[in-house]
Amino acid sequence: MANEKTQLANIPQYDPNLEPVVDINGIKKLLPHRPPFLMVDRIVSMSKEEVVGIKTIGVNEGYFIGHFPEEPVMPGVLIIESMAQVGGILVLSDLDEPEKYSTYFAKIDNAKFKRKVVPGDVIVIKMRLTAPLRRSIVCMRGEVYVGNTLACEADMVAQVIKNK
């Protein structure tokens, strides 16, 4: 019973009544992504080591046309991308002049998909630093939840590069 309570305590809870820490306009200042490839709607909490972002999955997302017409499912690669974007916000928000940098995947390990993400879901994306930014490399652990259910998890390594 205690283990179950501990697990639930580690699941980020999203309250849509609270103001976001970073809204969509702030996200656009930090990330170069734009619709239809912007995979985070708001940041609801952020510290030096952890960030929680939200993405509302609407039926009008373009990928649902072909994935799959009769049973729409968010592609796993886009769930991973949403994790990367939220992680990028964490890393870039701590830099001076973040608009001059971009983050790029270097490695993805231990990716597991545990639940389908479908239209109407609100995914809660938690990214935690597992190693600080050093020599332009950063390591993170990500979890994506729908409600209290873990939908996806992965370990990621990214490189932070100054734009030309």
pLDDT in tens, 113-136: 999 999 999 999 999 999 989 999
What would you measure as the largest C-alpha separation in the chain, in angstroms? 53
Average pLDDT, the chain: 95
Over residues 34-38, mean pLDDT:
94
Cβ(115)–Cβ(45) under 8 Å? no
Superfamily of domain 2-162: Hotdog Thioesterase (3.10.129.10)
Question: Catalytic site residue 67?
Answer: yes
Confidence band for 103, pLDDT divided at 50, 70 and 90: very high
Share above pLDDT 90 across residues of the chain, in percent, rounded to a whole number:
93
DSSP state of 119: T
pLDDT at position 105: 93
- Per the residue annotation, which of 28, 67, 115, 128 is the catalytic one? 67
Q: Is the pLDDT of residue 3 over 70?
A: no
Write down the domain spans for the chain: 2-162
State the Cα angle at 26 between 56 and 87, rounded to 5°: 65
pLDDT at 79: 98
